Amino acid sequence: MTRADGEPAFGVYIHWPFCLSKCPYCDFNSHVRHVAIDEQRYLRAFVREIATTAERAPGREVTSIFLGGGTPSLMQPSTVGGILEAIGKHWRVASDVEVSMEANPTSVEATRFRGYRAAGVNRVSLGVQALDDISLKSLGRMHSAQEAMDAVAIARSIFERYSFDLIYARPNQTPAMWQAELQKAIAEAAEHLSLYQLTIEAETPFFGLHAAGKLQTPDEATARALYDVTQEVCAAQGLPSYEISNHARAGAECRHNLLYWRGQEYAGIGPGAHGRLDINGLRHAIATEKRPETWLMRVEACGHGVVVDDRLNSEERADEFLLMGLRLAEGIDPRRYQALSGRALDPVRIAMLREEGAIMVDPSGRLRVTQSGFPLLDAVVADLAA
């Protein structure tokens, strides 16, 4: 069961930075290596960085752990077990801790899933991306739709909780095609789906193709129609969005992702991981070295791979709270914004955005972005934060 906003929560994010191949749309910190990866050495480094981080942020109770990537399902179950054991050694772990792991359908096999479960993983999130082979090929994926569905079936049989990701607003995708695909997806989903609109990220092969006119994404009106279809179909099937791209049955939200959007504390472990820790009453925005081999050497030399450690001032902290919190359907409590920034949100701007139908204030006083305001979220946040 998801905890309510405001209840204490502390997450640990673990980043595994390797993939079997690099997808042409992806700008995550993921790397392909053609030599064997020394998992034991990485495990020792993860364990060491966990210990160092726990020294900086002691006494927390871990309510969620997220193993993301890259492709963490390339790790041996014993590596995952070693990481989880180290977390349990350095922090208290809640009895109902959520332990999620991203898995790529290419690297999935039942024996490994069983091993992950035995190691302590209790929720899996599969990168399915599309339900037809032509789309999967154009996304550069190494699995077929059938393999992806087989992986979902294996996940269903092993984990009490699972989710999968799809990417929409793909080249040539019409709202009718997406509606049919989504219906099919929902039939396979249990409690959670992540549905991401394709973003053309700088410095990816898709960026070059798009700039050269060789890859066309849906125009603004079609993208909007695709978004609307997503909301309508999912809500009608009992999977309303609780965040712009995430849909769940009530109580089945990903607890770990919720803590990012609610502005709660989390440690980031591994190459290119981000963290937010409260140290001596100040919020620290922390990031580690992105290059796996450099991160490894830094950890071996000094116990951590941290390369950014910024203390956020009250304005930065409040802006981040607004930016993240307004992504959630539950919205934000404006009193918390005031407590963080030392000033209230501008009532004139709130009134204007309400009039435009972009935001609403619910009876408890929470501020929420409306369905029609969500596609304009960046502008709404910029307006409120100004």
Candidates 63, 71, 125, 135; binder of ligand SF4 (CB under 6 A) is 71
Please report, as residue ranges, which positions from 21 to 60 form the binding site for ligand SF4 (by CB under 6 A): 22-23, 26, 28, 30
Residue 70 interacts with ligand SF4 (CB under 6 A)? yes
Quick check: 65 and 9 in contact, CB under 8 A? no
- Which of ligand SAM, ligand SF4, none interacts with 207 (beta carbon under 5 to 8 A by kind)? none
Please report, as residue ranges, which positions from 77 to 106 form the binding site for ligand SF4 (by CB under 6 A): 104
Q: By CB under 6 A, how many residues form the interface with ligand SF4?
A: 11
Question: Where would I find the beta strands (DSSP E) of the chain?
Answer: 10-16, 61-69, 92-103, 123-129, 161-168, 192-197, 241-243, 246-248, 265-269, 274-279, 282-288, 306-311, 359-361, 367-369
Residue 271 interacts with ligand SF4 (CB under 6 A)? no
Q: Could you tell me the two tokens for 348?
A: 């004139």
303: left (phi over 0), alpha (psi -120 to 50) or beta: left
Strand partners, 99: 65
Contact window for ligand SAM (CB under 6 A) among 56-64, 68-76, 151-159, 320-328: 68-76
Position 138, amino acid: S
Candidates 77, 127, 275, 375; binder of ligand SAM (CB under 6 A) is 127
Contact window for ligand SAM (CB under 6 A) among 22-30, 57-65, 175-183, 367-375: 22-30
Contact window for ligand SF4 (CB under 6 A) among 15-23, 54-62, 220-228, 266-274: 15-23
CB closer to ligand SAM, 15 vs 284: 15
Residue 331 interacts with ligand SF4 (CB under 6 A)? no
Expressed in percent and rounded to 5, the helix, strand and coil fractions of the chain are: 45, 25, 35
Candidates 72, 77, 127, 305; binder of ligand SF4 (CB under 6 A) is 127
Residue 196 interacts with ligand SF4 (CB under 6 A)? no
Could you give the CA distance from residue 286 to residue 275 in angstroms, rounded to a whole number? 5
Could you give the CA distance from residue 269 to residue 382 in angstroms, rounded to a whole number? 31
First to last CA, the chain: 36
CB closer to ligand SF4, 71 vs 341: 71
Could you give the CA distance from residue 148 to residue 384 in angstroms, rounded to a whole number? 41
**In this chain, which residue has its C-beta nearest to ligand SAM?**
127
- Which of ligand SAM, ligand SF4, none interacts with 22 (beta carbon under 5 to 8 A by kind)? ligand SF4
Q: DSSP 3-state assignment of 253?
A: coil
CB closer to ligand SF4, 64 vs 106: 106
Residue 199 interacts with ligand SAM (CB under 6 A)? yes
Q: Which of 7, 6, 8 is nearest to 336 (CA)?
A: 6
Could you give the CA distance from residue 219 to residue 177 in angstroms, rounded to a whole number? 16
Which residues are at the interface with ligand SF4 (CB under 6 A)?
19, 22-23, 26, 28, 30, 69-71, 104, 127
Which residues are at the interface with ligand SAM (CB under 6 A)?
25-26, 28, 68-69, 71, 102, 104, 127, 129, 165, 167, 196, 198-199, 201
